[in-house]
């Protein structure tokens, strides 16, 4: 594979935003999608970073994503709100939902917002992190088209069903858990095909549902947990319940796939945002003291013999990647670089600066 090319974060973000606007996104959609893609690209979640810019432009062009949506937020009860995203790009819908969840939590202690009629929202961690940056414990999830089997199942049933939680830590970057409930991402299977590598044990199955380590035979992912995959599948079920029955949107098996021929119609995805304001439950110094002690104890924990390294708190790996990328530039894969050059030429955009 060709090497990625590194660009400065400070030039990549405005390029992405200009490209989205040139592609038909309104200012709010372009701003939100850029923030979320740059979150992923800075923190090392490259599958959901600027690599997806051409995809988002393509679905805005066909109308599968509404580039100029009219979001409608309805406060349904004291601490509950419903966001109708009008086919918006998922990033705009999720930031808007989390903003409202945080606002409600500051008033009520906890706030929950369901999201209707959105599209792909990238890395769920972006929104949970943002809640934490505002001082709340945040939770965001959404279903997506089926790619992961049930435990004991043969066929794709749930999406990769991300669960993202963030929690504020005084004077430090937040605690941040952003995990797919599949054993691995589908992108890993595609990567291993191109590299000719063998998959880890018990992460994917072939067309009859047999576990396989051959990335070419792998057709469907397994839920995280291996022999205990009912746990991963159960967590995916939670994602499904909060995203579909609670919002009126489609189940994962019913969603139009993310890729493939665009129908030109919104995918009508659902999602769920929750925020908890710790200060409603506990004086800030107590929360902060225990949280600090907790993270210190993780970072001081004795490693296992043969471990890859020191135990880390969720997010620690991401903050290290971010620091390195802000220094050395954000790597972009060659296909995306080519697409960016094309966009730059077509729309007369200022290209991003190589780091």
Pick out residues in 71-130 that bind its own copies (CB under 8 A). 76-80, 82, 107-112, 114
Q: Would you say 67 or 168 has its CB closer to its own copies?
A: 168
Q: Which of 2, 227, 260, 327 binds its own copies (CB under 8 A)?
A: 227
Q: Which of 98, 184, 189, 330 binds its own copies (CB under 8 A)?
A: 184
Q: Would you say 14 or 257 has its CB closer to its own copies?
A: 257
Kindly identify the residues of this chain, within the stretch 147-166, that bind its own copies according to CB under 8 A: 149-155, 157, 165
Provide the 8-state DSSP code for 223. B
Kindly identify the residues of this chain, within the stretch 290-319, that bind its own copies according to CB under 8 A: 290-291, 293-294, 297-298, 301-314
- Taking the CA atoms of 246, 125, 215 and 222 in sequence, report the sign of the dihedral they define: negative
Q: Would you say 70 or 207 has its CB closer to its own copies?
A: 207
**Minimum CB separation from its own copies for residue 162, in Å?**
11
Kindly identify the residues of this chain, within the stretch 2-41, that bind its own copies according to CB under 8 A: none
Q: Return d(Cα 291, Cα 349) in angstroms, integer.
A: 45
When asked if residue 183 is in the footprint of its own copies (CB under 8 A), the reply is yes
Nearest alpha carbon to residue 156 among 205, 122, 121? 205
**Minimum CB separation from its own copies for residue 236, in Å?**
10
Q: Return d(Cα 55, Cα 41) in angstroms, integer.
A: 15
Beta bridge mates, 116: 84
Beta bridge mates, 141: 163, 272
User: 228: how many CB neighbours lie within 10 A of its CB?
Assistant: 11
Q: Are 222 and 205 in contact (CB under 8 A)?
A: yes
Q: Return d(Cα 173, Cα 151) in angstroms, integer.
A: 35
**Minimum CB separation from its own copies for residue 232, in Å?**
8
Among left, alpha and beta (phi > 0; psi -120 to 50; other), residue 15 is alpha
Q: Which of 4, 24, 225, 351 binds its own copies (CB under 8 A)?
A: 225
Q: Which of 24, 63, 226, 351 binds its own copies (CB under 8 A)?
A: 226
When asked if residue 210 is in the footprint of its own copies (CB under 8 A), the reply is yes
- Taking the CA atoms of 261, 264, 265 and 266 in sequence, report the sign of the dihedral they define: positive
Q: Would you say 50 or 183 has its CB closer to its own copies?
A: 183
When asked if residue 217 is in the footprint of its own copies (CB under 8 A), the reply is no
Q: Are 148 and 285 in contact (CB under 8 A)?
A: no
Residue whose structure tokens are 């995916």: 236
Q: Would you say 1 or 302 has its CB closer to its own copies?
A: 302
Q: Would you say 127 or 175 has its CB closer to its own copies?
A: 175
Task: Write the CA distances from 243 to 47, 77, 83, 248, 268, integer angstroms.
Answer: 22, 19, 12, 8, 11
Q: Would you say 67 or 314 has its CB closer to its own copies?
A: 314
Q: Would you say 13 or 244 has its CB closer to its own copies?
A: 244
CA 179 centroid distance within chain: 9
Q: Are 149 and 222 in contact (CB under 8 A)?
A: yes
**Minimum CB separation from its own copies for residue 333, in Å?**
24
| x/- track of binding to its own copies for residues 247-286 (CB under 8 A) | xx--x-x--------------------x-xxx-xxx---x
Residue whose structure tokens are 């199955």: 205
């Amino acid at each position: 594979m060709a090497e990625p090319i590194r660009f400065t974060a400070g030039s990549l973000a405005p390029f992405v935003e200009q490209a989205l606007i040139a592609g038909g996104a309104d200012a709010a959609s372009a701003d939100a999608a850029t923030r979320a893609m740059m979150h992923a690209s800075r923190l090392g979640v490259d599958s959901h970073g600027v690599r997806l810019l051409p995809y988002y432009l393509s679905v805005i062009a066909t109308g599968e994503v509404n580039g100029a949506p009219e979001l409608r937020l309805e406060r349904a009860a004291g601490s509950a709100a419903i966001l109708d995203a009008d086919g918006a790009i998922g990033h705009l819908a999720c930031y808007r939902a989390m903003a409202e969840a945080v606002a409600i939590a500051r008033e009520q202690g906890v706030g929950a917002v369901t999201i209707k009629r959105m599209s792909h929202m990238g890395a769920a961690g972006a929104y949970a992190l943002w809640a934490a940056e505002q001082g709340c414990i945040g939770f965001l999830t959404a279903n997506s088209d089926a790619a992961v089997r049930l435990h004991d199942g043969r066929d794709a049933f749930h999406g990769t069903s991300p669960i993202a939680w963030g929690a504020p830590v005084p004077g430090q970057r937040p605690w941040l858990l952003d995990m797919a409930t599949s054993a691995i991402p589908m992108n890993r299977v595609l990567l291993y095909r191109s590299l000719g590598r063998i998959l880890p044990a018990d992460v994917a199955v072939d067309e009859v549902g047999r576990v396989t380590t051959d990335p070419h035979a792998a057709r469907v992912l397994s839920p995280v947990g291996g022999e205990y995959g009912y746990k991963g599948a159960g967590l995916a079920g939670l994602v499904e319940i909060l995203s579909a029955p609670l919002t009126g949107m489609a189940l994962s098996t019913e969603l139009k796939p993310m890729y493939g021929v665009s129908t030109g119609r919104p995918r009508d995805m659902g999602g769920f945002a929750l925020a908890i304001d710790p200060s409603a439950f506990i004086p800030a110094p107590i929360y902060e003291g225990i949280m600090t002690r907790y993270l210190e104890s993780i970072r001081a924990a004795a490693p296992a013999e043969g471990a890859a390294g020191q135990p880390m708190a969720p997010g620690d790996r991401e903050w290290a990647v971010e620091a390195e990328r802000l220094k050395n530039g954000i790597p972009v894969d060659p296909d995306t670089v080519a697409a960016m050059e094309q966009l730059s030429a077509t729309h007369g955009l200022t290209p991003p600066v190589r780091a």
